[in-house]
Chain A
Amino acid sequence: MIEYLSSLPSAVAQGIIWGVMAIGLFITFKILDFADLTVDGSITTGAAVCAMLIVNGCPVAVAMLAAFAAGMLAGLVTGLFHTFMGIPPILSGILTQLILWSVNLKIMGKANQALPARNYFLLVSQLNRTRSILVLAAVVIVLIAILYWFFGTEYGASIRATGCNLHMSRAQGINTAFTKIIALMLSNGIVALAGALLGQYLGMADINMGRGAIVIGLAAIIIGEALFARIARNFAMKLLAVVGGGIIYFFVYQTIVFLGLDTDLLKMLSAVVVAIFLAIPYWKKKYFTFAKTPQASDNLPFASAENPDGEVREEDGDHA
């Protein structure tokens, strides 16, 4: 039991790191409505860039900035695949992910790079969990503050509009190809930053560390949404809920480890849980159409007797 309790701080630290990654994913998955598989590669890129620079004598702050920039480049590639070359979102991400596999090997020169905290000054490390958690909490607060500001600006609003309605965005003069690229770059920059933190915390960068990252990120988003939906109404709280989701994911993970269940099965379990949660909105629509939420029912000067909801009449358009 003591062993279990002593593993919890580590669960919190790793949960926050993956929460940061999930915040990056939130930008593409939730705001842009773009399932971006680049993240499986860009998280490793972040760790690899950060580890190599620190091992070669770079200060940790510079290494992390470089990791962020490398992630943004990865996002740029995916963005160009999608907007300039017309490749569907999922495939664009997969292609960049594959490119990054080679790039990551080239960055490290091998499949694994050790980054021992005893030899270098690191921001976070397993050896000092309390300090790590405090540092990570600060990172999360600063990150959420910056994103809250950015998505409230004129430009941030145009990115949100792009994810919501392409027709409307173009009709309002928004260059939707450009906003998509910016969002993908920002997202992957944050994911790579999470990778840099993860590499420091684990004391190594490994070519396989990003495998299935998107599923863990989605799990964090979904858990956060499910558990904190009532309190997480504004944008900053939603991002905080995502980090909460990441922490809970790793609590569950540690519990499974403690109970002696086969951890090899964890990725499968995560995937199944994510799949079910992704299916819920679809099932709701398909099987529970009668339990419709009272959409647009209050305060309706435009509603009429024939059409109490002021709903759209079905009519085929002039498609010429």
Chain B
Amino acid sequence: MRIMRFVTVALLAILVSVAIMPATAQESGEVLTVYSGRSESLIGPILERFTEETGIQVEVLYGSSAGLAGQILEEGANSPPDVFIAQDAGALGAVAKAGLFAPLPSDILERVPEAFRSPEGLWVGLSGRARVLVYNPELLEELGLELPNSILDLISEEWRDLVGWAPTNGSFQANVTAMRVLLGDDATREWLEGMVANDAQVYEKNTPIVQAVINGEIPVGLVNHYYLFRFLAEDPSITARLHFFPAGDPGALVNVAGAGVLASSDTPGLAQRLLLYLLSNGAQQYFAEETYEYPLVPGVEPIVDLPPLASIEAPEIDLSDLDDLQGTLEMLEDAGAFDG
């Protein structure tokens, strides 16, 4: 009996504290809501720094770029976020296409070269990333395999079971969209079906793929370039390395992570302030030093040993052409890429 009374009192105490909680959280006035397709470990620290420096609270919903873009499309005019940060131009393009982004002022847009922003001025790139194949040299040797010359080679029999990929990942999806632009839908579908038939190993995100390659669970994986450097910074003895696909290969895409301000935002001024902050030299330095990406603002250089952005002979692709994310998603689904 006494126990039950104790439980009752404890429950009530908890309820009261929960009821008070939201009230204490909203002390400072200015709050920005952000949907972020970039993971918390990559973008969280710089958003926190923004809050420290400006006093503007940032509330973030983390998710996959495509999932959040889909959510914004579903929410339409009721969409709660002020800013959408995506890890690929495709998700940004899809939201822009639906007319849900407000145009950005030129002082934001002109921070980055023309190639890395929306031609209509609806979104802007924040950092650059190259698609690469991360590989484990020992395991490759053990298996007697050579690094492939093209991303298209990964569907051959010798790579059965051996390739890691993340079909739900925004950067990968952008790569598929680029393939569709370069090779056409039929060839892309064929490649996707080949990957599925070849039992490519499915991961949720890039990080676990890199981890699996480092651990020697799989010899190669399709990822963005910067994840490996984060592991190397922790443990320089890691032997895994990056393989850039040769010039013009559809696997050699250079993409951006970027952001736009929602037309439904009731604080567009604050939202633009966040974008300007992310494009400041300090924040660009953060992307270079902490996430090992390519800064997009001229004058800030990547710190790790990377081929300069201009030197990667990426296929001729206009990033704003990657806006048919929906088509890519349907193709991935129909090919069974989400079933792994």
Q: Do A and B bind each other?
A: no
